[in-house]
Amino acid sequence: MPPTRNFSYFLSSLESILNQLYTNSINTIICGDRNINYLANTNNKFQLDSLLASYDLFSTVDFPTRINNCSSTAINNIFIDKFKNTNFTINTLPNGLSDNVSQILILHNIKIQNLKAHHYTKRLINEFTLSEFKLNLSYESWDEIFSEDNVDSVLNSFLNTYSRIFHHSFPLKKSYHNQNNKAWITTGI
């Protein structure tokens, strides 16, 4: 939250989002720069903690996350459900890019639900299939289409011919996707 924003509006918006998203069966994690110093006891910190605690979310960061020549604060934080995540580690990761220190949250012994593979369809469009498509279009005789006088008939004939060649050159292929195999999920350190 930018420091110049209305804090009441921020709390109201956050509560509205949590009301829509939160369920007891989902493990919710909130992270980011709240611009609320968790190394000091302030009214804003108390209000945010009270709101998040009503959704079983608690602060994990108790060390400085923004350090400069004049001060050190903990304005970046990660909030987790400590009842669901009883075994976790939070560490710092200096990034050298700014005065903000990154945090790494490691959830130990977390169970990931085994989801069934889902299928979806897609078209293979690459250099080869595009060349085939262009070649097939070039072999097509368009004389019959342009000999029509009715604009609607011309359009329908063109679309039918074009669609036939398109579907032949780029047929739908069924692919399977296991939701547990997401490339952005890593095994950790």
Q: How far apart, in whole angstroms, are the C-alpha atoms of residue 107 and residue 134?
A: 52
> Residue 123 has what pLDDT?
85
Q: How confident is the model at residue 133 (pLDDT cuts 50, 70, 90)?
A: very high
Q: How confident is the model at residue 46 (pLDDT cuts 50, 70, 90)?
A: very high
List residues bridging with 32 in a β-sheet.
77
pLDDT > 90 in the chain, percent: 10
Q: How far apart, in whole angstroms, are the C-alpha atoms of residue 9 and residue 118?
A: 40
What are the structural domain ranges in the chain? 7-107, 117-177
Q: How confident is the model at residue 24 (pLDDT cuts 50, 70, 90)?
A: confident
pLDDT at position 183 over 60: no
**Which amino acid is residue 125, in one-letter code?**
I
pTM: 0.55
Helices (H), the chain: 7-21, 43-53, 127-139, 143-146, 151-169
**Cα 8–14–16 angle (5° rounding)?**
105
Write down the architecture of domain 7-107 according to CATH. 4-Layer Sandwich (3.60)
Mean pLDDT over each residue of the chain, to the nearest integer = 81
> Residue 115 has what pLDDT?
62
